[in-house]
A and B are shown apart, each in its own frame.
Chain A
Amino acid sequence: MFSLKSLEAFDLEAADALLAAIRAVAEENFFAITVPCDAGTFAELAVRQPRWLVARVQFEEGPLAGSVSCTLPEELAHVLLDAFSGWEPSAPAPTYDQVLDLVGEFSNMVCGSWLTRITRHQAFTLSRPVVEPALAPAHADGPRLFVAVRDLPLAVDVRLQSVTQDVRPEGFV
């Protein structure tokens, strides 16, 4: 069960669920081995990447609202697209819009899979993903998870907010 106390501190249960969601999505539909890494390893992998994409999905689940953002280099986006769509080398190169769509769908699945894991009962709504280019990963305002997907960097950020101010558990300040 998701803890509202994690509005201030992203708890271990939610972090484990997020990692499990990323791995399930990456490995089952994108055939990409995914392992957690630390900030230093992420930085080493990231320094070689000139162009990035950031996909943000907003969600509402009962009294909670927030967003999940996936930040990844364009190289990883193309790797994921090739795996997801079975792109043949002889086929025309994918369009930029197709790459953005794919990154948005990846983020959509990560967010949805995470929300389903942390509370199996509560339905949720997701916004259409917004995908934008970036020159480098931005500084994280909240909890961030670093992973390596096929040895390429991926950062997943979670931002949480309550929908109604009066929804607080006992003892929550």
Chain B
Amino acid sequence: MRILIADDSAMMRALIKRVVKLSDVPVEEILEAGNGAEALALLKSHDVHLLLTDINMPVMSGTILLREIAGNDRWRGLNCMIISTDGSTSRREETADLDARWYLEKPFRPEVLKDVLTKVAGSLRS
């Protein structure tokens, strides 16, 4: 599984990366992006299976990134998970409408992220 982490905080990306590595889920590669534009560029050049993205990012927000993904058949079926401090119902509804399947509110429990990783890994095997 190839995972892309998009968050403007390098420390948060490092935490998420550490949780992924400790999850015992087989991961081929973990890519990192500091904003939505960088994430989009990586999506164009790599075959990504799971996107973990923040919402509030400079240059391009997570919401606009999801819009770009939803508008391109190339990324149909891409697993997207939001990891954000914004836990409002309207934001959750907005991202669900843009096909984000999971929403993790910061601060988050690592085991919740691990559950999602396990599910995605399982779906890729089947």
Pick out which of these stretches binds chain A: B44-52, B65-73, B89-97, B115-123.
Answer: B89-97
A101 engages B109 (CB within 8 Å): no
- A113: chain B residues within 8 A (beta carbon): 85, 87, 105-107
B105 engages A116 (CB within 8 Å): yes
Q: Name which residue of chain A comes closest to B8, CB basis.
A: A128
Number of chain A residues close to chain B: CB under 8 A: 29
Secondary structure type dominating chain A contacts: helix
B109 engages A28 (CB within 8 Å): yes
- B108: chain A residues within 8 A (beta carbon): 28-29
Tell yes or no: B77 within 8 A of A by CB: no
> Which residues from 85 to 130 on chain A have a C-beta closer than 8 Å to any C-beta of chain B?
85-86, 98, 101-102, 104-105, 108-109, 111-113, 115-116, 119-126, 128
Binding site for B on A (CB under 8 A): 24-25, 28-29, 81, 84-86, 98, 101-102, 104-105, 108-109, 111-113, 115-116, 119-126, 128
A selection of 12 A-B contacts at a CB cut-off of 8 Å is A105-B11, A105-B12, A108-B85, A112-B85, A113-B85, A113-B87, A115-B88, A116-B105, A123-B94, A124-B88, A126-B86, A128-B8
